[in-house]
A = this chain, B = another copy of it.
Amino acid sequence: MTGGLITDLYELTMAANYLRRGMNGPATFSLFVRDLPPDRGYLVACGLEDCLAFVEDYGFTEEDLDYLREEQHFDTATLRALEKLRFTGDVWAVPEGRVVFPGEPLLEVTAPIAEAQLVETVVLNHLTFQTSIATKAARCARAAGAARVIDFSFRRTQGIDSGLAVARASYIAGFAGTSNVEAARRHGLPAVGTMAHSFVEAFPDEQAAFEAFTADFPDRTTLLVDTYDTLDGVRAAIRTALRAGGPGLLSGIRLDSGDLGALAVQARHLLDQAGMSGTRIVASGGLDEFSIADLTAAAAPIDVYGVGTRMGVSADAPSLDSAYKLVAFEGRPVMKLSTGKATAPGAKQVYRRAERDVITLRDEPAPHGTHPLLLPVMRGGRRISPAEPLTRARERCEADINALPAPITRLRRPETATVRLSPRLEQTRDDLRADLLSRVRQARTREMIDDGA
């Protein structure tokens, strides 16, 4: 058991309150994204695997309890309850790689309220972050058309674990590989890489650097050509290959600065002239889906895009407006009335037919010809099935995005799908809102009388 303190303080404070009162009734929390950033028409669900691993193992160590006793002044009865606490709930979730829209639950937890509350922080964190990245990466992969896209982000992701998650999320979203060796090992991804400018600079000249590299790694000679002068670099790469054994020896060249489109055309011309039509052109340097789309539209002869920082932090939308909201407690639906933040109550399901989705209460029957997005993934605190191979999520992502209409996949100011609520869900929400408003008014009147006003 680990992770007890990997949460916000208020989760622990509230859990203490619930435990002390014996409030063990089942609570359902629903995790969803309220609104999309301006340049997003859809989301690619990602992060579930890390959520399940965390939740399944959640619990407190001796050191955790010592800290709560000594530094946070938790009382002995609460500490004893926390010592025994495990996550015993059920989880329904949208599988990784699926396309989802605003308002649709990505995950729903039903558990004794203290347990459901304690895992909130981590569950929100993984799903918000990894969904941001998978979505950004899917846009990059799609913008590249027939070209391949690879993850070069590790040096500027927001932390090391973040880099590992980005490599995985971008692979689900259609990337062909990653420069991140630890991520490649851990998730079985293709590891990719070329050379740095420093390598060229460490040799007396560019040609010497290329020759050394080609001698040592004849099966992976992608040479970085822009350290001094790009087209001179291309010529040096060509000469190196021809002298070392022939045109087949140069698998690729990499452009990392300047006008990538124009340089790619000139480099392609030089390579073709030298009989190296099989040599790939790799482009990198500040790329994202917008610049890739421009290069694709200009038919730039680029075979591989190395995409770094902007994908790895989802630069134009580094977070999402996600929420983890109590929607039912002890069998009754729940919602809040806070300005602009009201949530539809009750455990839910999403049914999809093509891209038209309807959100229903969990127990409503499936409308004809639809399939459910949320599947049971954990029961009684245990996973229902082991982690699936990443390729499964990757295939799902590709199929779901291919099914989207153009206005939704547009890069700039896309539309998003219109998600309906079922009549029963709407009715439940309206009834509860009316009830809450009337109770607020009654309480106000009662207190005014009490206060003698």
| A→B interface (CB under 8 Å) | 5-14, 16-18, 20-21, 23, 27, 29, 67, 71-73, 113, 117, 120-122, 124-126, 128-129, 132-133, 152, 154-163, 165, 179-182, 184-185, 191-202, 205-207, 212-213, 216-217, 219-220, 226-229, 232, 235-236, 239, 256-258, 309-310, 312-315, 318-320, 322, 324-326, 329, 334-341, 436, 439-440, 443-444, 447, 451
Contacts and interface: CB of A to CB of B under 8 A. Distances in A.
B7 A336 contact: no
Oligomer copy total: 2
A322 B156 contact: yes
Given A10-B179, A195-B10, A227 B338 contact: yes
9 contacts: A72-B191, A122-B160, A159-B165, A228-B336, A228-B436, A232-B444, A256-B338, A313-B313, A313-B318
A124 B156 contact: yes
Contacts of A5: 181-182, 185
Contacts of A206: 443
B326 A202 contact: yes
A156 B181 contact: no
Contacts of A232: 440, 443-444
A387 to B, nearest CB: 18
Contacts of A447: 235-236, 239
Contacts of A6: 160, 181-182
A320 to B, nearest CB: 8
B129 A12 contact: no
Contacts of A217: 13, 16-17
Residue of A10, A195, A212, A219 contacting most chain B CB atoms (<10 Å): A10
Contact of A125 (B157, B184, B196): B157
Contacts of A207: 443
Nearest to A254: B10
A193 B9 contact: yes
Nearest to A54: B160
Contacts of A11: 193, 196
Given A29-B198, A226-B338, A336-B228, A129 B157 contact: yes
A212 B409 CA distance: 49
A155 B120 contact: yes
Contact of A8 (B154, B229, B329): B154
Contacts of A13: 193, 195, 217, 220
